[in-house]
Structure 1
Amino acid sequence: MRKKHYLRFLIIAGIFFVASSFYYLPYYVSKPGMAKELAPIIEVENGNGEKGSFMLTTIRMGKANIYAYTIAKFSKYQEIYPVEEVRSKDETDEEYNVRQLHMMEGSKTNAIEVAYKKANIPVKFRFNGVYVLQVIPNMPAEGKLKPGDRVTRIDGKEFESMDQFIDYIGVKKPGDKVEVTYERDGQSHTVSLAVQTFSKDKNKVGIGIGLVDDKQIEVHPKVTIDSEEIGGPSAGTMFSLEIYNQLTKTDLTKGYQIAGTGTISPDGTVGRIGGIEQKIVAADKAGAEIFFAPEEKGVSDSNYKMAVKTAKDIGTSMKIVPIETFDDAVAYLEKLKMKK
């Protein structure tokens, strides 16, 4: 009899555990991710090899159930974020993921531009349309367009920038219809939508999408970056270093395992990222010897200062190097002695 009660208890407890694990709190939890070598995922046509390696670093971010939240509360290198600090207002999970992947695409484009210009190789851009990041509820595009669609024409007309798209729609009157041609999963579609005023700004009309320019960089030699499902812009700096290293004869790695993080702007400026502490942990576990961190002009809570603090806390011998620009990183590596 006692065995039956015990078995019943275990079954009920198991059901409760499984059910409660699918109940998500209004928080996200981030934790150290991985440090991944870039040479296998970046290929410059006829590019040069390297003795060491450049590595991107990641964090793992996910919605928090009660167990993940509790573990994070008592873990030094896990962080808890309210939903509103991660997703924009009214942004769905799908829209958030699309935004992250598009930011990754932007970081790739910027990295290629910076690296090729540094190598004195010309770059060109081709405009592909506008990329749908978000569909606003209760607006004409709801149920018709979705995040990830690429709008290529309006009323049969092509345009050369997001601004031209906005200007064309902006002169319409509420109720006017426009033919929107868009691409989804490689297929072209056209839908008729009536423009409408925005609830938060009655002086503006639109179809109700958050959008950004979708442009493609064209370079020779060709370069491919297979970032898989990694999202966000924080790998930009390390992308640019790997690409530049393959474009030039001198191996900037000098045989070292070099990790780092930071967004990259078209002018080569390195920007702040989130989760620097967790990325230091990930890089150390992967055996990185050097880590590039955004200095941010020396502000008190800069990525660099937080990286130095974390490196000291975990007792790593990894050298933390502050950088403001892509050129700073290259200059440091050019002076670095070859590893014995």
Structure 2
Amino acid sequence: MRDKKIALGIVLASILLVGSAIVPTGYDVLFADEPIMLDELVDYEDGYELDGEIGMTYVSSLENVGWPYLVLGMLFEEGVDIEPAATEELDIDVEDLHYQYEMMMIQSKIKAEYKAREYMDDSPDLTLTGFYPAYFEPDWKYKNMIKVTDILVAMDGVELESYEQLDQLILEKEPDEKAVLSVMRDGERKDIEVRTYPERDYYNNTFLGMYVEEVFELVEDERISFNIEEIGGPSAGLMLTLTLIEKMTEESLLKGNKVAGTGTIEMDGFVGPIGGVKQKVIGADLAGYEYFLVPEDNDYGNNEEIAKQTVKGEGLSIKLIPVGSLEEAVAELKKLPENK
């Protein structure tokens, strides 16, 4: 009888362990990982060889993990954080979240090529085709009427030509006021009636309950190619741009140094904040990078502060270079010492 009870206990424990492994905890586990060298992933035909190394940082993660993996993740010593699952926080399916990440990377490549060619006094032919949904307020009751694959092209019958125009159309409305959004869905135009968010934002402005990002199309330079797959998000923008500039110009910005970094790149050259700065700085330091380009603190994020706290708290040797624009990033790299 005693042996049967022991055997039954083992079976029940096994069932609980296996079951807990597939039950989501509502948390993501973020890991520090080594940067990806961009030399072979960003190509410019007949361009110059990199005199040094540029690393694109990223964060490895386990999404909405089961309990055993959550516990195992906590056992890692360096660069691990446990955060509320993005899918739970945003109330979004993992497939939709990954689609948004993919769209962000596509647009990052377009912006990187545009800014690099602009740096070379080229005039790329760029067209705004609409806006894709990047974030929904979880309690905006109309969010399920919009698909992440929709492209917003008009509001209240007004064709959208810029982000500023869309913003102004929203600001002119009151909270909880009707708005008709025209979207392209599966190749067809569809009008969707929603209402603005019922409360004003932190700045006392009306907002939609859905935040969007531009969708650009670019007449591409056939000499430029990006061989980056299975990595999403907007945080590679700055480093992709700098890699292209380095390959397009005879003068080396790197001068034999190993430089990693992160940050979005916008059409006006603004470098924006991203997530996972702690893991990215630690990963770059572990991989032996000497310098780390980080978005400077602004109204949109405190990447610089987090990076400084990480370097100090973890005792890292990597040197931080805060930048707010592509122009600043280029200027700071030109200041680097020769490292032959």
The alignment's TM-score, normalised by the length of structure 2, stands at: 0.73
**2:274–2:303 CA contact under 8 A, matched in 1:** no
Change (3 A) 1:229 1:284: same
Tell me how far apart the structure 2 counterparts of residues 289 and 134 of structure 1 sit (CA, whole Å).
35
What SS class does the counterpart of residue 54 from structure 1 fall into?
strand
The aligned residue for residue 242 of structure 2 is 241
Change (3 A) 1:328 1:151: closer
Shift of 1:2: 8.1
Q: Which residue of 2 aligns with 1:100?
A: 101
Q: 1:133/1:328 Cα in 2 relative to 1: closer, same or farther (>3 Å)?
A: closer
2:281–2:307 Cα contact (<8 Å) kept: no
Aligned to 2:230: 229
Of 82, 86, 96 in structure 1, the residue corresponding to residue 84 of structure 2 is 82
Match in the other structure for 1:16: 16
Gaps of 5+ in 2: 174-179, 200-205
The CA deviation string for residues 58-113 of structure 1, in whole angstroms up to 9 with x for no partner, is 1123213323433455545211223479843x444333333333333333333333
In the alignment, structure 1 residue 302 sits paired with structure 2 residue 305: yes
d(CA) in 2 for partners of 1:109, 1:60:
24
1:1-340 map, 5 Å: 9-61=9-61, 62-73=63-74, 75=77, 77-83=79-85, 87-88=89-90, 90-133=91-134, 146-150=147-151, 160=161, 182=184, 184=186, 188-189=187-188, 195=193, 200=198, 211-220=212-221, 222-296=223-297, 302-310=305-313, 312-313=315-316, 316=317, 318-340=318-340
Q: Distance in 1 between matches of 2:96 and 2:222?
A: 34
Partner of 2:202: none
Structure 1 unaligned regions, length at least 5:
172-177
% identity of equivalent residues = 26
Aligned with 1:43: secondary structure?
strand
Q: Is contact 2:297-2:303 (8 Å) kept?
A: no
- CA 1:44–1:6 in structure 2 vs 1: closer, same or farther (change >3 Å)? farther
CA distance in 1, matches of 2:89, 2:47: 39
- Which range moved further: 63-72 or 237-246? 63-72
Distance 1:3 1:57, change over 3 A: farther
| Letter in structure 1 aligned against 2:81 | E
Write the distance in 2 (CA, Å) between the matches of 1:93 and 1:125.
31
One-letter code aligned to 1:226: N
| Matched length | 322
Matches of 2:252 and 2:8 in 1, distance apart? 64
- Given that residues 152 and 181 in structure 2 are in contact (C-alpha distance below 8 angstroms), is that contact kept between their aligned partners in structure 1? no
- Take 1:253 and 1:57, find their aligned partners in 2: how far apart are those partners? 17
Distance 1:92 1:262 in 2: 25
TM-score by length of 1: 0.73
Residues 1:326 and 1:164: Cα distance change in structure 2 (over 3 Å): closer
Structure with more strand by fraction: 1
The question of whether the paired residues in 2 share the 8 Å contact of 1:91 and 1:134 is answered with: no
Kindly indicate whether the alpha-carbon contact (under 8 Å) linking 2:294 and 2:323 is maintained by their aligned counterparts in 1: yes
Give the root-mean-square deviation of aligned CA atoms. 4.3
Asked if structure 2 preserves the Cα contact closer than 8 Å seen for 1:295 and 1:304, the reply is no
Q: Distance in 2 between matches of 1:212 and 1:270?
A: 15
Matched residue SS, 2:26: strand
Match of 1:175 in 2: none
Change over 3 Å in CA distance of 1:256–1:66 after alignment to 2: same
> 1:242 Cα shift?
0.4
Distance 2:321 2:144 in 1: 47
